[in-house]
Structure 1
Amino acid sequence: MANYTAADIKALREQTGAGMLDVKKALDEADGDRAKATEILRVKGLKGVTKREGRTTSNGLVAARVENGVGTLVEVLCETDFVAKSEKFGELAQQVLDQAVASGAADADALLKSTLGDGRTVQDLLDEANATIGEKIEVKRVARLEGGNVVSYLHKTSPDLPAQIGVLVALEGGDEQVGRDVAMHIAAFSPTVLTRDEVDAETVENERRVAEATAKEEGKPEAALPRIVEGRVNGYFKENVLLEQPFAKDAKKTVGKVLEEAGANAQSFARFRVGS
């Protein structure tokens, strides 16, 4: 029988993030030598990287940092919540965030191709983690915002998981508090655009068609249709446009009004929710 203990299994699982059965098999093969077992896990894991490419990554975390007026937000995904809340995965996500900040990457492709200090790319780093942990791991999205006042906010949807929603908002003017309030609002109400001008014309026209067809189906008077359609299209804007949404802390005011009163202008924002 291999010479290892339950403590060795626990330590190797925490070190590599691999499953218990894989860890025990590796320790058996290495006769209890943890360094050899780690190498075995890595070698066997790398062989399975291609097989895992088609798997679904619906768990993971978001991480953010703001430095010198620049905010960076990354979404790192894995397959299970067990891995998502592991120390090893958390450390990996921080490495990814560090590199996103250092490289200035504005999208996932640029980040994956960027080179770490030891010569590896971020994709190499993920492949190695994929091998030892035994799950598909990927960087799904990256956002980078600049502004006079950039604020980040991370939200846990479950107390035993890392942050699942991350927000960056860039303001001109205002203070940290109004920035945080707006970031929290974005996390809760998930706007899709900053202003109605950013909604493409095709989407607006489709909303008009649906609103008109619905009103006719409801038997609304023909003379009232233009007003009803306009009201419903404006309802779409209020639901999706950040500056037109009722503010989370005071629904009598729009987000735009709250920013105006605080002497601030919103320049841009980014919102990631894990797996969506």
Structure 2
Amino acid sequence: MANYTAKDIKELRERTGAGMLDVKKALDEADGDQQKAMEIIRVKGLKGVTKREGRTTAEGIVVGRVEGGKGYLVEVNSETDFVAKSDPFIAFGEKVMDAAVAGDVADLDALLAAEVDGKKVSDLVTETGALLGEKVVVRRIARVEGNNVELYLHRTSKDLPAQVGVLLAVDGENVTEAAHDVAVHIAAMSPSFLSREEVDAETVANEQRVAEETAKAEGKPEKIIPKIVEGRMNGFYKESVLVDQDFAKDSKVSVGEFLSGAGATATGFARFRVGA
């Protein structure tokens, strides 16, 4: 019988994120040697890369960082929440963020091609998946620039790292507290656009068409349909546009009004939620 304990199994699981059965098999094969067992897990993981390609990666974490007036958000995914909260996976997310910041990266292709510690991020993805025995994915990246960039990371479960991340850029003096409050609002209310001007023409046209067809289907008089469409479009903006939304901490004012009162103007934002 291999010379290892339940504590050894627990430690190796925490170090690799591998499943209980895989860890025990590796320790058996390595006669209890932790380093050899880690190598066995890694090698077997590499052999299974192609088998993992079609798997779903619905779990994961959001990593964020702000440096020099630029904020970065990266979402990295795994198959299970067990791996998502493991130290190796969290370290992997930080390495990906290191590459994003060092290369001032703004798009996914550039991030995967970027290097960290002499390795391309795409190679790091393969190696991490091999070590953990799961499909691992770098899903997306966002970069936000501004005079003041606020980062907010939110845990949806106390047992997991952050799964919601927000970057918010604002102009103004002494606006850190206001920016934080709005970043928290964004995390909770999930706006799609910063302002009405940022809503693309296709989306506007589609919303207007749906509003008009709905009014007609409800039998509304033709002469009042334009007013109904206008009202429903205002409702759409209030739901989807950040500065038009009711402020979460004080619904008597909009986010735009709150920022204005604090001497701040929002200039950009990004929001990631794992899997969304």
Would you say same fold, with TM above 0.5? yes
Whether 1:64 and 2:60 are equivalent positions in the alignment is no
Aligned residue number for residue 140 of structure 2: 141
Matching of residues 124-273 of structure 1 within 5 Å: 124-174=123-173, 175-273=175-273
Question: What CA distance in whole angstroms lies between the structure 1 residues aligned with 2:211 and 2:114?
Answer: 47
- In structure 2, stretches of 5+ residues that fail to align are none
Identical residues among aligned pairs (%): 64
Deviations 1:228-273 (A, max 9, x none): 0110011111111111111111112111111111121111100000
Letter in 2 for 1:127: T
- TM alignment of 1:10-159, pairs within 5 A: 10-117=10-117, 119-159=118-158
Offset, 1:108: 2.0
AA in 1 matched with 2:215: A
SS of aligned partner of 1:171: strand
SS state of the match for residue 207, structure 1? helix
Contact 2:63–2:74 under 8 Å retained in 1: yes
Offset at residue 68 of structure 1 (A):
2.1
Say if 2:166 and 2:187, in contact at 8 Å, map to a contact too: yes
CA distance in 2, matches of 1:107, 1:134: 27
Task: Give distance in 2, aligned partners of 1:200 and 1:62.
Answer: 27
What SS does the corresponding residue of 1:161 show, helix, strand or coil?
coil
- Give me the whole-angstrom Cα distance separating, in 2, the residues matched to 1:208 and 1:146: 32
TM-fit CA distance, 1:54: 1.2
Q: Distance in 2 between matches of 1:250 and 1:4?
A: 58
Does the CA contact (< 8 Å) of 2:72 and 2:100 recur in 1?
yes
Matched residues in 2 for 1:131 and 1:157: separation? 27
Distance 2:22 2:136 in 1: 18
Give the CA deviation at 1:129: 1.1
Structure 1 runs not aligned, ≥5 long = none
Q: Secondary structure at the match of 1:270?
A: strand
Cα deviation digits, residues 157-187 of structure 1 (max 9, x gap): 1111111110000111141101101101111
Q: Deviations over 1:68-91 (max 9, x none)?
A: 211111111101111111222112
4+ aligned runs moved over 4 Å, structure 1: none
Superposition RMSD in Å: 1.2
3-state SS, counterpart of residue 101 of structure 2:
helix
Q: Deviation at 1:146?
A: 1.3
- Aligned AA (2:138): V
Per-residue CA shift, 1:47-76, capped at 9, x if unaligned? 111211111111111111112211111111
Q: How many residues align?
A: 275
| Alpha carbons 2:190, 2:271 under 8 Å: kept | yes
Looking at structure 1, the residues matched to 19 and 137 of structure 2 have their Cα atoms a distance apart, in angstroms, of 19
* Length-normalised TM-score, structure 1: 0.96
Q: Using the alignment, how far apart are the partners of 2:158 and 2:19 within structure 1? A: 23
